A and B are shown apart, each in its own frame.
Chain A
Amino acid sequence: MEKNERFDERLKVLHDTIQHKHTSRIAHFSNFFTWKILDSDLKPKLSEALSDYGMLDRIQCEFQERYDFDVHYDPLGRNLLKPAALLGGNHHLVDDEQESINFFDHTLLQDDEYPAYKTDRWGTSWKMFLRKYPDLKQGLMAEAIAVNTENNAYLPYIKAKLAKEYGCPTCYNCLAQVPHERFHKYYRGIKAASLDLRRRKSELIDAYDAIMEDEVMPGVHKALATDTSECMVDLMVPLLAHTMMNMKQWETFYWPYLKQILDAALAANKTVMIYLENSLIRFKEYFQDYPKGFLVLVPELDDVAELREAVPNACIVGGITAQLLGRGTPEECVDRAKKVIDQMGDGFMLGQNKMMSFRNDCKRENLLAVCEYVQNFRW
């Protein structure tokens, strides 16, 4: 098949799957992150690869040539460490011996700074920046900006290369997050953000409303206006902080903002992929009324068959666990693939339940066996 034909064929399979149309074959979604580096025959150290764009490029291509996925959630553009490292950032801990990356939970926004963040977002952001990089030295900013520009150029480059050379459509055009996510993950940290849900309700809502109005929705509308016909989906919304919330908190601090994003995408006749840390099942009713062909759910802990039953209108991605890929045999992995493809039917992409990051998340022979099965599978 010619490269362009390959691209068109993959895109059609992906789009048809999202629309719950019957396809001739099963779409295969890569949720592989830094495991690709550990699997590479180039055998780089994790820290070396993460700061070398040329090496990341070669590793991503090697991965695609070996396994031939239809689409990549992460084309190895995450956790690029160079700009932050230049500024003296130390929140990511890369351990080459253990082949692991850890991220420290940290508080950059002080307890009483929500009102300031609402009224003077850029001033408060600079304060946080200087707290994040307390050892920032004069003259490094220009160098860091240059490196960050290089970083920013890498993602479009590798996406275009995957499309052109391997016929892999880009997974999503634009990422949108509800406001609480930035506090949970970046500004307050998981613990402080969780305490704020009880201690600072009105301050949170004031800040979130302002962020939605000033930043999130203008960005979403801009993204929805672009031509994304060559992407698998238009928007990607990661759900991480919902894992901390009780139902009342979800209804107050999360769902109203998520609904605005989803409704805007629906009104624009676009599609949304939701990446789910932990589980979505307890919030299932919020997603059941969206039409078929609009939502793609990528769950971490939810069983895909249970999720299908809970949200039958959504396309589901997953079915193969890191536990199985890392600890099972090729036969067991293929048996699972057969079973889940048969069980799920249309509106399902085979994928992995974790952001595959560590060596023992997967064995090469297991993944090769699953890929071979998928590539030969026809309904």
Chain B
Amino acid sequence: MIDFEALAQAMGDLDEDAVTEMLEKVMEEGGADAPKAMEACQKGMDLVGDQFQEGEYFVGDLIYAGELMTTAVNILKDGLISSEGSGTKTKMILCTVKNDLHDIGKNIVRSMLEAGGFEVVDLGIDIPADQIVATAKEKDIRIIALSGVLTLAIDSMKDTVEAFREAGLRDKVKIIIGGAPVSEEAKELTGADEWAHDPQKTVRVCNEWAQAMA
């Protein structure tokens, strides 16, 4: 059996070789510990987040952490599928809004949200408001994270919030906007509930909302 604390630490240190070696050992041993290993990886992602907050890591490190987490999931996949259910996760929507094709920030946030225990419905990039609203309706999702890099995205975020209002769903969903152009002013302008420049805040806010909705 591997040392799960050491696995969490290796993930936190972004030590790719150590992480993959330990995860492969879990699967060589039959994969029964895959859920525990995934939990350790998620703890490691929290350490990554802490290092980001402290200024030790920066955006490139979060991209790397996201890659490492994807690798971890791929290695552990069979063990995770065959294990007992791992509890119900809160579903949320994440996407880059209409007229913006940037996905790097969105993908970082996705990795951190998944590591934070969310089931993220990632709609992709350049997503129109009506598609976001339709997905929220169809899947009964109440947390929406809208990403964008261009100043143009602010208008699309506003349109999206408005589309929820027109669909009669505004009071039922919480909306957070994220990316370089957002600010307190942009939050006011778009009518969103929160804004964030960093993934840590996004995860924290979405966790608070999820707990309040539970």
Task: Pick the residue among B61, B67, B150, B155 that contacts A246 (CB under 8 A).
Answer: B61
Interface string of A96-117 (1 = CB under 8 A from B): 0010101011000000000000
Task: Pick the residue among A93, A244, A247 that contacts B63 (CB under 8 A).
Answer: A244
- How far apart sit A247 and B51, CA to CA, in the bound complex (Å)? 12
**Contact between chains at B99 and A98 (CB < 8 Å):** yes
- How far apart sit A147 and B98, CA to CA, in the bound complex (Å)? 33
B149 — nearest CB in chain A belongs to which residue?
A: A102
Query: Which A residues lie within 8 Å of B3 (CB)?
Result: none
- How far apart sit A282 and B56, CA to CA, in the bound complex (Å)? 11
A194 — nearest CB in chain B belongs to which residue?
A: B60
Q: Which of B116-124, B170-178, B180-188 contacts A (4 or more CB under 8 A)?
A: B180-188
CB distance from B24 to the nearest CB of A (A): 18
- How far apart sit A17 and B184, CA to CA, in the bound complex (Å)? 32
**Contact between chains at B152 and A194 (CB < 8 Å):** no
Task: Pick the residue among B67, B155, B186 that contacts A323 (CB under 8 A).
Answer: B186
Within 8 A of A (CB), among B35-79: 55-61, 63-64, 67
Tell yes or no: B100 within 8 A of A by CB. yes
Tell yes or no: B143 within 8 A of A by CB. no
CB distance from A63 to the nearest CB of B (A): 19
Within 8 A of B (CB), among A165-197: 190-191, 194-195, 197
Query: Which A residues lie within 8 Å of B7 (CB)?
Result: none
**Contact between chains at B152 and A197 (CB < 8 Å):** no
A199 — nearest CB in chain B belongs to which residue?
A: B16
Knowing A354-B151, A358-B152 are in contact, say whether A323-B185 is a contact too (CB < 8 A).
yes
CB distance from A2 to the nearest CB of B (A): 39
**Contact between chains at B180 and A278 (CB < 8 Å):** yes
A contact patch SS: helix
**Contact between chains at B152 and A100 (CB < 8 Å):** yes
- How far apart sit A278 and B154, CA to CA, in the bound complex (Å)? 17
Task: Pick the residue among A245, A278, A301, A358 that contacts B60 (CB under 8 A).
Answer: A245
Query: Which A residues lie within 8 Å of B98 (CB)?
Result: 98
Knowing A195-B67, A244-B59 are in contact, say whether A93-B101 is a contact too (CB < 8 A).
yes
Count of A-B residue pairs with CB < 8 Å: 77
B15 — nearest CB in chain A belongs to which residue?
A: A198
Query: Which B residues lie within 8 Å of A249 (CB)?
Result: 58, 60
B186 — nearest CB in chain A belongs to which residue?
A: A323
**Contact between chains at A282 and B99 (CB < 8 Å):** no
- How far apart sit A102 and B151, CA to CA, in the bound complex (Å)? 12
Tell yes or no: B189 within 8 A of A by CB. yes
- How far apart sit A301 and B63, CA to CA, in the bound complex (Å)? 21
Knowing A323-B186, A358-B150 are in contact, say whether A190-B64 is a contact too (CB < 8 A).
no
CB distance from A142 to the nearest CB of B (A): 32
- How far apart sit A102 and B102, CA to CA, in the bound complex (Å)? 8
Query: Which A residues lie within 8 Å of B151 (CB)?
Result: 322-323, 326, 354, 357-358, 360-361
- How far apart sit A132 and B103, CA to CA, in the bound complex (Å)? 20
Tell yes or no: A327 within 8 A of B by CB. yes
Query: Which A residues lie within 8 Å of B186 (CB)?
Result: 323
Tell yes or no: B14 within 8 A of A by CB. yes
**Contact between chains at A197 and B150 (CB < 8 Å):** no
**Contact between chains at B99 and A190 (CB < 8 Å):** no
Task: Pick the residue among A245, A354, A358 that contacts B58 (CB under 8 A).
Answer: A245
Query: Which A residues lie within 8 Å of B57 (CB)?
Result: 246
B152 — nearest CB in chain A belongs to which residue?
A: A358
**Contact between chains at A194 and B63 (CB < 8 Å):** yes
Tell yes or no: A243 within 8 A of B by CB. yes
A282 — nearest CB in chain B belongs to which residue?
A: B55
Knowing A244-B60, A246-B60, A354-B151 are in contact, say whether A102-B180 is a contact too (CB < 8 A).
no
Query: Which A residues lie within 8 Å of B60 (CB)?
Result: 194-195, 197-198, 244-246, 249
Query: Which B residues lie within 8 Å of A327 (CB)?
Result: 185, 189
- How far apart sit A93 and B104, CA to CA, in the bound complex (Å)? 18
Task: Pick the residue among A104, A301, A360 that contacts B154 (CB under 8 A).
Answer: A360
Task: Pick the residue among A100, A190, A323, A326 that contacts B104 (CB under 8 A).
Answer: A190
Interface residues of B (CB under 8 A from A): 14, 16, 55-61, 63-64, 67, 98-104, 150-152, 154-155, 180-181, 183, 185-186, 189
Q: Can you list 17 A-B pairs with a CB-CB distance of less than 8 A? A: A100-B150, A102-B100, A197-B60, A198-B14, A198-B16, A198-B61, A199-B16, A244-B58, A245-B60, A246-B61, A247-B58, A249-B58, A282-B55, A322-B181, A327-B185, A360-B155, A361-B151
Top 6 closest pairs, chain A to chain B, by CB:
A194-B60, A244-B60, A246-B58, A102-B101, A358-B152, A194-B63
A100-B99, A195-B67, A197-B60 known; 20 new pairs, CB 8 Å cut-off, are A95-B99, A98-B152, A100-B150, A102-B102, A102-B150, A191-B104, A244-B58, A246-B56, A246-B58, A247-B56, A247-B58, A249-B60, A300-B180, A323-B151, A323-B181, A326-B151, A354-B151, A357-B151, A358-B151, A360-B151
